Amino acid sequence: MKVLAILYNGFKAAKAEPRLLGTVENELGLRAYLESQGHEYIVTSSKEGPDSDFQKHIADTDILITTPFHPGYLTKELMAKAKNLKVCVTAGVGSDHVDLNAAVDRKIQVLEVSGSNVVSVAEQVMMSILLLVRNFVPAHEQAISGQWQVSDIARNAFDLEGKVVGTLGAGRIGHRVLQRLVPFNTKELLYYDYKALPEEAEKAVGARRVEDLKEFVSQCDVVTVNAPLHEGTQGLINKDLLQHFKPGAWLVNTARGAICNADDVAAAVKSGQLRGYAGDVWNVQPAPADHPWRSMRNPLGGGNGMTPHYSGTTLDAQQRYAEGTKKILQNYFENKPQDPGNVIVGVGKYESASYGQR
């Protein structure tokens, strides 16, 4: 079979660090295995436009491997050209870069390595909340640029203790974020999700479910987004919803960039309506140099905690999603059942609730 992987370039770093498995250079560690089984393995980062390797090779690819970090966007149109495609594997978590409805129609399975980087992201969420609330970025900028003006930092720095923190989405990551917030003695922990957490889990973190989204955001000092991107969450955080946020709230989004309207969020940060926004996910990846989230700052010069998409691709996470991808391929080649938690789209039907109520 022909296996095509769309990965990001690691260049010098990947040559020096073999644990950067999710790179073009290190090929998810799959080449020896795939070739020993007689499969052809093509690995590339070239993914945009009709002349890209992605679009050229997809025509006769049997198995496509992609990652959310350098997403190969498999649109309905591209899928129509992919005559042999049977399986798409996301090396990581989040398969919104694949047109899932089209995959259902075309009986193309979509699998991901569920859970592989949920701790990595939950830790990033904690870091992002703290760096916004404590106004870390401008303080660090002073440190490295030779300045020292404590009042300019402290005037917009707060403690997390005593604040209300809510997660939009309380699945694997959202629940782990709530668990990690417990020792910070927040005023209250809230969550908004289609379904309640299991009673014991809810009790253990002491979180309260709020069933109306506007009511939820209006009660939070900090909102963290931990839901998948699908029709129900695309552009969910926009000008209208932002009006219901507490004035000066902080927003962290490590789920998917397109859940937020980029211009509306940037405007809210610039006006101070949001005190800050942090995250690693962008509506287009790689993000263009003039993306509004690169340059936005609040009126006091802080409030921007953006990074490239890396929270779920720590070296620890890469090992887990590379192993998980191999396991999915082995199960497929050996006709063994897949771990049900990894199946987003089975043959001709959705198998996961994680893409919302459908």
Q: Give the active site residues.
A: 117, 256, 285, 309
Facing residues of 249 across strands?
Answer: 274
Residue at 327: amino acid letter: K
- Of 248 and 346, the one with the shorter C-beta distance to ligand NAP is 346
Burial class (CB in 10 A: 0-12, 13-18, 19+), 5: buried
- Of 154 and 196, the one with the shorter C-beta distance to ligand NAP is 196
- We find the least distance from the C-beta atom of residue 174 to ligand NAP, in angstroms, to be 6
- Of 124 and 186, the one with the shorter C-beta distance to ligand NAP is 124
CA dist., res. 339 & res. 112, Å (int):
10
- Of 232 and 272, the one with the shorter C-beta distance to ligand NAP is 232
- We find the least distance from the C-beta atom of residue 195 to ligand NAP, in angstroms, to be 5
- We find the least distance from the C-beta atom of residue 12 to ligand NAP, in angstroms, to be 23
Check: CB of residue 305 under 8 Å from CB of residue 131.
Answer: yes
- We find the least distance from the C-beta atom of residue 276 to ligand NAP, in angstroms, to be 18
Check: CB of residue 142 under 8 Å from CB of residue 285.
Answer: no
Check: CB of residue 200 under 8 Å from CB of residue 250.
Answer: no
CA dist., res. 337 & res. 113, Å (int):
14
CA dist., res. 47 & res. 65, Å (int):
12
- Of 61 and 253, the one with the shorter C-beta distance to ligand NAP is 253
- We find the least distance from the C-beta atom of residue 172 to ligand NAP, in angstroms, to be 4
The residue ranges that bind ligand NAP (CB under 6 A) are: 93-94, 117-118, 121, 168-174, 192-195, 226-229, 232-233, 254-256, 280-281, 309, 311-312, 353-354, 356
Could you tell me the two tokens for 179? 């668990």
Residue, CB closest to ligand NAP: 171
Number of neighbouring beta carbons within 10 Å of residue 183: 8
CA dist., res. 118 & res. 333, Å (int):
27
CA dist., res. 223 & res. 190, Å (int):
9
